[in-house]
Structure 1
């Protein structure tokens, strides 16, 4: 599953990088929660939670159905 999640993150990464940010996969828990670290301009951005939920999580859940959620660590 890790490879699938990395592939999805590679799809959303250009959108983040266009705004000076990035995302790093930290871990996938046993219960299907993907833990990511927002980097660059995304770190501390007031819109980062919206980016996480509406951009990253929505795409990961759509393309990797075994994932239950995405959270920032």
Structure 2
């Protein structure tokens, strides 16, 4: 169990997202932080990351790995497809 509330996770998660953003930008990609719910971080990959065959690897071994290292090992990341931003609870 993660010993932080969702609200307490927002600032550190934003910091990590900003930390990984430059590496995504090198390949023409980007990332938006959407929210944290039940210790799950909801993001949206953008730019060339959309439809890229490596986007799943980027998500798990780039973004999620860095969040686990910097914040807590039980954090998970979920990429929200475009158009589903208002339906996060359904993911």
Give me the TM-score of the superposition, normalised by structure 1.
0.92
Match among 5, 11, 14 for residue 6 of structure 1: 14
Alignment length (residue pairs): 72
User: Using CA pairs below 8 Å that are at least 6 residues apart, which structure has the higher relative contact order?
Assistant: 1
* Displacement of 1:47: 0.6
Q: Give the CA deviation at 1:27.
A: 1.1
Unmatched segments (≥5 aa) in structure 2: 1-8, 81-91
Could you say what the CA RMSD is over the residues aligned between the two structures, in angstroms? 1.2
| Structure 1 runs (4+) greater than 6 angstroms displaced | none
Q: Report the alpha carbon displacement of residue 22 of structure 1 after superposing the two structures with TM.
A: 0.4
Preserved CA contact (<8 Å) 1:33 1:67: no
Higher strand share: 1
Q: State the partner residue of 2:43.
A: 36
Cα distance between partner residues in 2 of 1:67 and 1:5: 13
TM-score normalised by the chain length of structure 2: 0.75
